[in-house]
Structure 1
Amino acid sequence: MGGVGAGDALAGEFEAQRGRLVGVAHRMLGSRADAEDAVQEAWLRLARQDPGTIDNLAGWLTTVVGRVCIDVLRSRRARPEASYDDRLPELVVTEDDGTAPEEDALLAESVGLALLVVLDTLGPSERLAFVLHDMFAVPFAEIGEIIGRSTDSTKMLASRARRKVRGTHRPSDERRRQRAVVDAFLAAARGGDFEGLLRVLDPEVTWRSYSARGVVDRVGAAEVAVRVQRGVRAVVTARPALVNGESGLVVWAASGRLLGVMACTVVDGRIVEILSVNDPRRLASIDLPARPE
C-alpha cells in the first residue's frame, strides 16, 4: 500500500491511538506538554518507518512512546543541576459539588498530586512497568521488550512500584472527610479564627505558593495560619474544587478577577500540605470551572 491514500490511512490510525498514547506519556512524565512532545516524536518516527514492517501499530507506538519517556526521565536524573523542585505539577481542576461526572473524577485521580509524587520516586523502568501494566493493561511480556527485561523481571518491577503507590487512591467517603476538613479550614480563615486554623493544620504543615515573584515555601501551622488570615481580608468568592484529586478551592475577587487555586492534602483529619497558585501566567494555562454567579 503506498501513495497519498496510504499516508492518510496511517495518519488516521495514529490519531485513533493519540489519546491513549498521551495518557501513557502524561502519567510517565507528569506534564501534558512533555507528553504531547513524546507523542509527536512517535509520529515523526512512524513517518520514517515502512508501515509494512509493523504488525501491530498500537504495540509499536506504545513501545516508541515508552522508550521516549524513559529517555526523558533518565535525562532529568542525569542533570541534577536542572532542578525540578520549582516545577508546578500539571493541574486538573474540576468542580467538587458531589455531582462531578465520573470521568472527571477519574481524570483527577489518575494524575493526582499524591500519585505523581509517588511516581517520581520510582526509577524510569519501574515507573513504565507500573503505568503500562496497571493503568493500561499492557502484558508484561510486551513491557519487558520495551525496557529490555525478562517477563519475570518486569513483573517484579511492577510489583515493587505497586507497593509504593498503594494507598494513593482515595475512596469517596474519605474524600468527603477531606472536604469537611478543607471547609473547616476555609470557615476558620474567613472568621479570623486562629485557634480554629491550628486545629485543622498539621503542626508540620507545608505551604508551597506559586506567585508571579517565584515559589515561596512556608512551614509550620502557626506561620501558615498567620499568612492565611492575612490573605482572606479581601472580599473573595471561594468555590470548592478537586485539584488533581485533592480537595481544594478556586478563588475570585469581588470584581470577578481570578485570584488563585489551592489544593490541600489531608491526612488523619489535618492538612499536611497546601499547594496554591496565584501567578496570572500559570493560572491562564489551567482549565477552570466557571465562576459562580
Structure 2
Amino acid sequence: MFDTSPADPVSEAFEAQRDRLHAVAYRMLGSQADAEDVVQEAWLRLSRQGAATIDNLAGWLTTVVGRISLDVLRSRRAHPEAPYDDRLAELVVTADDRPAPEDDVALADSVGVALLVVLESLRPSERLAFVLHDLFAVPFDEIGRILGRSADAAKMLASRARGKVRANPEEPGRPRAAGREQREVVQAFLAAAHGGDFEGLLRVLDPEVKLTVDTSDGVVVVLGATKVAAGATARVAAGAAARGRAVLVNGLPGFVSWREDGTPLSVMAFTVVEGRIVAISTVIDPARLASTDLPDPA
C-alpha cells in the first residue's frame, strides 16, 4: 500500500499518475508484483525529491519508472536461473484443430496477453524503447536519456523490437497468430526434443531464446539456445507424458501434455519470429494446471 494522504497535493498528483505508471511497469516486467514494487519505489523517490523542483511530474515519474524497470530486467538477465515471485500471465488455452484458428474469438481476446509473451523475448533496452514509445508515446529523446544513448539509437532499438512483435504492416504491434509456418517450427522442436536431436533443436531455436518455466516453487528463467536445448531433451526423457495435442496458448502456438491417468503434465507456448523460436513459456505447476481450462486430450 502507498503511504499517501489525500490532503497532500504531491500525493494527489502521484495518485493521478499511479495507474499509468503501473501499466508502464507491468508491460516492462510482465509481473504484477514487480510492477507494484517499481511504482512504490517511484513514490519513495518522489517523496525524497520534492515535487516543487520538478517541471513535468508525469514525465519525471515515467523516466523514474522506466529506469527502475530497466534495472530489474537487466538483473534478471544477469541471474537468469533465479526465480522471481510473479506468475506468468493468465492462460487462455484452446484446441488448435480449426482450419483457420486466426479467426477464433478466443484468439482475438487473448492478443493483449500474447503481446506480453512476445515482449519477454526482447532485450531490456529494446523492450523499454518499444513499450515507452509505441505503447505510451514517450519521445525518443527522453527514452535515449533513460538508456544513456542518443535519440536515434533509441529509435533504432524500438524499430528492432517492433519487427519482433509486428503481426503485419496493417496491424503494427499485434503478435502474429499461429500460422502454418509457426506450427511447423513448433512441431520440428517437439520432434527433435522427443528424438533427443540436440542439433535439430539448435536449428529451430534463436541463439538468445528465453525459456520461462512456471513451477510450484516460482518462475525460473533460462537463456540461450544451448541451455534451453539441453533442458528440453532432459525434460522429455524424464517426463511421463502419455498424450498430447497442439493448442493455442494466449494466441500463440502451443502444446499440452497429459500423464497416463489424465493429469495435466505441462502447457507450453512458443513465440516464433522469422522461423526461429525466440521464447518458450512452460507451465508445470500442478496447481496452476489444475485451475486452467484445458481442452480434452486428443
Category of TM-score, reference length = shorter chain:
0.5 to 0.7
| Aligned twin of 1:44 | 44
Shift of residue 40 of structure 1? 1.2
Distance in 2 (CA, whole Å) between partners of 1:53 and 1:252 is 59
Partner residue of 1:84? 80
Structure 2 counterpart of 1:233, one-letter code: A
Shift of 1:138: 0.8
Show the counterpart of 1:35.
35
Give matches, 1:245-256, under 5 Å: 246-250=252-256
Q: Choose the corresponding residue for 1:168, options 151, 165, 168.
A: 165
- Bigger shift: residues 174-183 or 18-27: 174-183
- Structure 1, unmatched stretches of 5+, are none
- Change in Cα spacing, 1:246 to 1:227, as seen in structure 2 (3 Å) is farther
The structure-2 alpha-carbon separation of the partners of 1:36 and 1:249, relative to structure 1 and needing over 3 Å to count, comes to farther
* SS of aligned partner of 2:269: strand
Structure 1 position 159 matched with structure 2 position 156:
yes
Secondary structure at the residue paired with 1:241?
strand
Match of 1:118? 122
- 8 Å contact kept, 1:178–1:247: no
How far is the alpha carbon of 1:175 from its aligned partner? 2.0
Aligned to 1:175, the other structure's residue is in SS state: coil
User: Could you tell me how far 1:219 is from its partner in structure 2?
Assistant: 3.4
TM-score computed with the length of structure 1 as normaliser: 0.62
Alpha-carbon distance, 1:270 to partner: 8.5
Q: Identity over aligned residues, as a percent?
A: 41
Separation in 1, partners of 2:282, 2:183:
19
Mapped to 1, the partners of 2:157 and 2:87 lie a distance apart of 25
Q: Distance in 1 between matches of 2:272 and 2:76?
A: 30
What is residue 65 of structure 1 aligned with on the other side? 65
Shift of 1:99: 0.6
Structure with larger Rg: 1
Measured in 2, the distance between the counterparts of 1:291 and 1:131 equals: 31
Do the aligned partners of 1:182 and 1:264 also contact (CA within 8 Å) in 2? no
Match of 1:233 in 2: 242
Aligned residues: 260
Cα RMSD (Å) of the superposition? 4.9
Could you tell me which amino acid in structure 1 is paired with residue 42 of structure 2?
A
1:65, CA displacement in angstroms? 0.9
Check the 8 A contact 1:181/1:271 in 2, yes or no. no
Instruction: Encode CA deviations 1:181-210: one digit per residue, 9 max, x unaligned.
Output: 48978xxx9xxxx79x87xx9922569684
The answer on whether the counterparts of 2:127 and 2:161 sit within 8 Å (CA) in structure 1 is no
For residue 94 of structure 1, what is the amino acid of its counterpart?
A: V
**Structure 1 residue 101: deviation in Å?**
6.6
Give the alignment's TM-score, normalised by structure 2. Answer: 0.61
User: What is the distance in 2 between the residues matched to 1:202 and 1:145?
Assistant: 42
Whole-angstrom CA distance in 2 between matches of 1:34 and 1:10: 23
8 A contact 2:93–2:293 mirrored in 1: no
Verify the 8 A CA contact 2:268 2:282 in the aligned structure 1. Answer: yes
Counterpart CA distance in 2 for 1:265 and 1:154 is 29
**Offset of residue 105 of structure 1:** 0.4
Residue 24 (structure 1) shift: 2.2
Alpha-carbon distance between aligned partners in 2 of 1:182 and 1:76, rounded to the nearest angstrom:
27
In the alignment, what sits opposite 1:105? 111
Q: Find the counterpart in structure 2 of residue 276 from structure 1.
A: 282
2:249 matched to 1:242?
Answer: yes
